[in-house]
Chains A and B, each alone.
Chain A
Amino acid sequence: MQLAHYLHGLRRFWPVVAAGAVIGLIFAYGFLKLTMLDQASADVAILDPMSGRSTNYNEAQVTFDSIIKSETLAEKVSLVVNEDPATVRNDLSVTVATNLNPNNPSPLYVVHGRDHGVSRAILLVNTAIGEGRKLYVSLNAANTAAYQATIDVEAKAASDNLTAAQAALDDFASSNNAVDLPGRLATMTALADAGSSSAATERDRLEKLQSQYAGLAFAVQAAQARAQTVATEGESLKMAELLPTSAETKVLDPAAEEGQALYVALVYALGLVTGAAVGLAVVYGLMFTGRRPATPAEVAAALGAPVLVRIPKAAQ
């Protein structure tokens, strides 16, 4: 079929195209009527724990968008908004606001909620954000139980070791009359140098005990250092337990109605274009299937010449 012929058909059947466009608009209206829900959205700023407390945080993270789309959150929210969890999950969505810094680990999430009525949509979004923040905090809090148990064992061992080393030193000192051996040795040395023979004798005795005393004293110092290290690890673990706090999730913009004019315009445009396209196709089909033979007048007009004669059937 030539284009000119088709255009001729369009001039003839243009109401079909117009009707297709109108039907497309009607379908778009019906589609919106059946499916369109009021929509609300809120912006939530998340301070990523890795950037907030990067030195002590070692646990795996669950992102806020995953929480918003989770079944757990849907179940919690459904209890508030009186919907089934599947509907809540379907009506909730989350996007990440564009950020000029591609390396920013603390994104701004936009939570969208749809429901029948603006107030219900806002309620849905606010409830989702509230429950989401709780889940975010609880899920991303460090689980220190295992670490704490290990540290407790090490702390007890260090304490026992320190106690044993200190007892050994004390026993050695008391049994050998060598309490504060370094101080007493310095004193006896000074007296011996002054000519005291008894001090010289005591100095010699203490010098014989010095190496064994030094060994026991070092063991005490080592046990003390170990106990201090374990205590420091315990403090660090307690710091990690504090993360993340509610300070890491902040509602930047509370839930408000979200305009859907663009969506509505797109649906109507799609209906219009689709309807018109179907109309054009129908016209093509009409032209293709309903082609009638040309009349002599049409052929004469196309040739710009008159019909000279009509020749009837040859035989009677």
Chain B
Amino acid sequence: MSHAIRNGKGARSAQSAHGELTADDAAGAQGEAHEQAQAPAVAPTLSKPFTEGFRLLALDIDHLLQGSPNRSVLVMSALPKEGRTTTAAGLARAFAEVATPVALVDANPAAVIGSAPVAGQPYEVISPWATYDTQAEVVDYVRLVLESGRSAGATVVIDVPPATTSSLGFFLAPLVGGVLYVMRTRRTPDATFAAAVRSQLDLLGVKVLGVVVNEG
């Protein structure tokens, strides 16, 4: 990943050395960085269904993208705190088990995941907002990352800001192989947001791979 930028801004470990999701990954379910800052010092034990869910998701997406030269997935949601970052991190982690190399692009300006290299980390974290200040620059940079990843045969997972607060996801969606839509049970108010997102994606000619239901 020659275009990968390794920057210490908001750096946080995304993976444990032994390849399981960490509390930092899981805390992404809360959705925002300020909540991450209050994460407990002692990592809770992650449930097996949690990790198995992402493995199953990676399998499904791998199947859906079979034969596509563009093995990239954009993870979006309509509202904040729906588990978008958790899904992106978990998916990158699970992909790393079945199809390397894997890159996770943290295109959320909140820089939840961070990009510091971690020993033994099975995927690379790229944080364009750590280097670029404008959305146009970020889009151009992600386009380069995707081209680089395509030539390297890598799988790229992109985490973007909520669709209701930023249009960045829609700018990046036409560049990827498919979009994952994350919803959170008992929080997503109604399906009208999803319908609106679908309309916009249809307009852009983007393939929606499926829905990830976050029950956390």
Chain A residues close to B by CB (< 8 Å)? 2, 4-5, 291, 293-296, 298-316
Smallest Cβ distance from A167 to chain B, in angstroms? 117
**In the bound complex, do residue A306 and residue B185 qualify as a contact, i.e. CB atoms below 8 Å apart?**
no
Interface SS of B by simple majority: mixed
Please report the C-alpha to C-alpha distance between residue A312 and residue B21 in the assembled complex, in whole angstroms.
14
Dominant secondary structure at the A interface: mixed
CB-defined contacts of A307 to chain B, threshold 8 Å: 210-213
**Whole-angstrom distance between the Cβ of A203 and the nearest chain B Cβ:** 134
Whether the Cβ atoms of B60 and A311 lie closer than 8 Å is no
Q: For the complex, what is the distance from the CA of A309 to the CA of B216, rounded to whole Å?
A: 13
| Interface residues of B, Cβ cutoff 8 Å to A | 21, 23, 25-27, 29, 44-47, 49-50, 53-54, 56-57, 60-61, 83, 86-87, 90, 180-181, 183, 185-192, 194-195, 197-198, 208-216
Question: Is A303 within 8 A of B50, CB to CB?
Answer: no
**B27 proximity list for chain A (CB < 8 A):** 314
- Asked if A2 contacts B192 (CB within 8 A), the reply is yes
Bound Cα distance A315, B48 (Å): 9
In Å, the complex CA distance between A2 and B187 comes to: 18
Instruction: Decide: B181 and A299 in contact? CB cutoff 8 A.
Output: yes
Instruction: Give chain A nearest CB distance to B24 CB in angstroms.
Output: 11
Other A-B pairs, 5, CB within 8 Å; known A307-B211, A311-B212, A314-B25: A305-B198, A311-B53, A312-B49, A314-B44, A314-B86
Bound CA–CA A138/B44 (angstroms) = 105
Residue of A nearest to B83 (CB): A311
Subset of 6 A-B contacts with CB under 8 Å: A293-B187, A294-B194, A302-B192, A311-B57, A313-B215, A314-B216
Is A316 a contact partner of B191 (Cβ separation < 8 A)?
no
B78 to chain A, nearest CB (A): 9
The residue from A4, A5, A298, A306 contacting B210, defined by CB atoms under 8 A apart: A306
Q: From A309, which residue of chain B is reached at the shortest CB distance?
A: B57
Partner of B47, one of A298, A304, A314: A314
Interface pair A311/B50, CB less than 8 Å apart: yes
Q: Do A5 and B192 touch across chains, with their CB atoms under 8 A apart?
A: yes
